[in-house]
A and B are shown apart, each in its own frame.
Chain A
Amino acid sequence: MSEKKICVRNVSKVFGPHPERALKLLADGADKEEILEKTGQAVGLADTSFDVYEGEILVIMGLSGSGKSTLIRCLNLLNRPTAGSITIDGEELTTAGQDQLLRIRQSKFGMVFQHFALFPHRTVQQNAAYGLEIQHMEAAVRAEKARDALKLVGLEGWEDSYPRQLSGGMQQRVGLARALAVDPDILLMDEAFSALDPLIRRDMQHELISLQARMQKTIVFITHDLDEALKIGDRIILMKDGRIVQIGTPEDILENPSNRYVEKFVEDVDKSKVLTIASIMGRAKVVAYPKDGPRTALHKMRDEGISSIFVVDRDYTFRGLLTADRAAEAVEHHRKPIDEFYERDIQAVKPDDPVNTLFPIMAETAKPVPVVDEDGKLQGVVVRGNLLAGLAEGGSNR
């Protein structure tokens, strides 16, 4: 793992004028509800500790009210922790003076908000330039940097519009550009995509991942959506009632949910989002026909760069699979149609089958698996690559 960028140690946040008693109860292991009852104070965070590593996307996930926003807002001291320590690049935040705090916010952080929080009286360009303006950067330089940031998020040509003239997705791009323009080390994103509709949301997720590949920021990303967490996160923190319940990679979380709460989260995903084969299969780009000669079949394979080809009738009724080896053999023996050379007992799957029917088949063979419908017609193909990509995507055709 790379360098630790942010260290959070035993941070608690109690909302209310007299947190001492609540803190004491917390230390004794009382939970949020109990403390609210006894002291009237709301616990936002209870004794949380974790690290953020340089260059990673750390996703914080949990139900609404679990303390995600409180946590991310503690990182730049929009919320002042009631107890505990936060260091950024070794610099302690909780004891920082006002000037130091402003400097850290200006130089280290960019923040993106759920409801965009764009400044309505400023143009897109002026919004993007806000952080730089705060730092008293020269007008010409900041205009250029803001324009670069807008270009990065695909908003070229919208500089002089006002936020309310833009769609939600575009507004959030402005929000992202505003954060990126200051070239921060750390991006804080609080449910940044939650207010967007699903298609736009997926675009933004992809864009964030590709931006991250280029820019290597450290990103703390909040979501209440496991799907999004799995797609974006290098590591995931799961929160409940102000406490961290599990920290781990997406695989850890899926495979070893640490308790019932996490399990339920994961189950929800499985139940609501059963992937069907149709959602991950690819198109069979070329096929061979039983009357084709072996040279034709080989040629088709070579053109597509594949080592085997499905054989179908003219009406796409599935027949079997011809491998390049067998085709070469046929050429050698000067046999004309490939009829006798292709394999006929190929295991096919149906488009509506769940993806996990593929696992045992894929474990047996490296060959492509045909997807064939009720009428025996070839619908598509699954190779290992489709399966993995499909799982990672959560099924893009869903």
Chain B
Amino acid sequence: MNLSIPAFPLEDIIEAVIAFLTDNFAFITKGVSDVLETGINLLQDGLEFLPPWLVILVLVFLAWRLADRRVAIMTLFGLLLIWNLRLWNATIDTLILVIFSTGIAIIIGIPLGITAALSPGFNRIVMPILDFMQTMPAFVYLIPAIPFFGLGPVSAIFSTVIFAMPPSIRLTCFGIQQVPGDLVEAADAFGSTRKQKLFKLQLPLATPTIMAGVNQTIMLSLSMVVIAAMIGAKGLGGEVWKAIQRLQPGKGFVAGIGVVIVAMILDRITQKIGRGNSCE
């Protein structure tokens, strides 16, 4: 059946907008991308240059300090297995992408969440955008990333940030809103400024919820970083991608196990941080 009404040219409009943006701004984003990419490559090469056992020791120590002994032991065996499976360099690449993406997502997301919690007007604007960001299929973000940042890790980070940021915003907002009203009122009664209320009351009480958001952001980053292998991000995702193209199920599963191990380690550590900071 043919529709007689012509299609609304949404496609053309979006492409025109993106074309306009690339024509006018891509030289900036490309520049940023080049610098960032150099940095990321340096970091990856640097870490891969170090002996794996040293990096493992450092990571296990961090897990022990940030979480507890059980998580540290899990980290130790997980990373040893990864090393043994010859996934070491791929894992380092992935870790660095995840750390960059999450870092950026949190740095942008938490302040946005705070603003959304304190300003009802902003909240009304942001929430639908978040719904949009979260339900849009993740692959779609990859396409416009390329004209701005080129093939490679920066495009991967860009689309990962967009995909992984919503939980940080949402849960920061929620955490602040759920601080009991009578506590906020008590703070008001003593003459607290907005800033004092935020830093002395709302943020500390919202910390466990915010950390739950950060945890989700990390998990989403990890899943997106794997998908982003399609646009030239290296790492565990790259291994999976190669295995798909060559139809090597064994290799694919092994790389997949690497992703699972990294996910478990990051998940346990951030969960512990969240609970540790909750009101004692």
- Hey, which bits of chain A sit against chain B, CB under 8 A? 76, 78, 101-107, 109-111, 113, 115, 117-121, 130-131, 133-135, 162, 178, 182, 188
Interface SS of B by simple majority: helix
Chain B residue, CB-CB nearest to A182: B190
| Known contacts A119-B201, A134-B196; A102 and B191 CB within 8 A of each other | yes
Question: B170-206 toward A: CB 8 Å interface, digit per residue (1/0)?
Answer: 0000000000101101111111110010001100110
Determine if A103 and B191 form an interchain contact, defined as CB atoms under 8 angstroms apart. Answer: yes
Please tell me which one of the listed residues A105, A121, A188 contacts residue B205 in the complex, with CB atoms under 8 A apart.
A121
Chain A residues near B201 (CB-CB < 8 A) = 119
B72 CB, nearest partner CB in chain A, Å = 27
Known: A102-B193, A105-B191. 13 other contacts (CB 8 A): A76-B189, A105-B189, A113-B182, A117-B186, A119-B201, A120-B279, A121-B205, A130-B187, A130-B190, A133-B200, A134-B192, A134-B193, A162-B279
Chain A residues near B188 (CB-CB < 8 A) = 78, 105
Determine if B280 and A162 form an interchain contact, defined as CB atoms under 8 angstroms apart. Answer: yes
A101 vs B191: C-alpha distance in the bound complex, in angstroms?
Answer: 8
Chain A residue, CB-CB nearest to B182: A117
A113 vs B189: C-alpha distance in the bound complex, in angstroms?
Answer: 10
Chain B residues near A78 (CB-CB < 8 A) = 185, 188-189
A135 vs B193: C-alpha distance in the bound complex, in angstroms?
Answer: 10
Q: List 13 A-B contacts (CB under 8 A).
A: A78-B189, A102-B193, A103-B191, A105-B189, A106-B191, A111-B186, A117-B182, A117-B183, A117-B186, A118-B186, A120-B279, A133-B200, A134-B190
| Known contacts A120-B205, A134-B196, A162-B280; A115 and B182 CB within 8 A of each other | yes
Chain B residues near A113 (CB-CB < 8 A) = 182, 185-186
A130 CB, nearest partner CB in chain B, Å = 6
Q: With a 10 A CB-CB cut-off, give which of B188, B189, B205 has the most chain A CB atoms.
A: B189
7 nearest CB pairs, A to B: A106-B191, A105-B191, A121-B279, A117-B186, A111-B189, A131-B190, A117-B182
A107 vs B182: C-alpha distance in the bound complex, in angstroms?
Answer: 21
Determine if B190 and A111 form an interchain contact, defined as CB atoms under 8 angstroms apart. Answer: yes
A127 CB, nearest partner CB in chain B, Å = 10
Chain A residues near B205 (CB-CB < 8 A) = 120-121
A74 CB, nearest partner CB in chain B, Å = 13
Chain B residues near A103 (CB-CB < 8 A) = 191
Chain B residue, CB-CB nearest to A102: B191
Chain A residues near B190 (CB-CB < 8 A) = 105-106, 109-111, 130-131, 134, 178, 182
Determine if B185 and A117 form an interchain contact, defined as CB atoms under 8 angstroms apart. Answer: yes
A103 vs B196: C-alpha distance in the bound complex, in angstroms?
Answer: 14
A121 vs B201: C-alpha distance in the bound complex, in angstroms?
Answer: 8
Chain A residues near B196 (CB-CB < 8 A) = 134
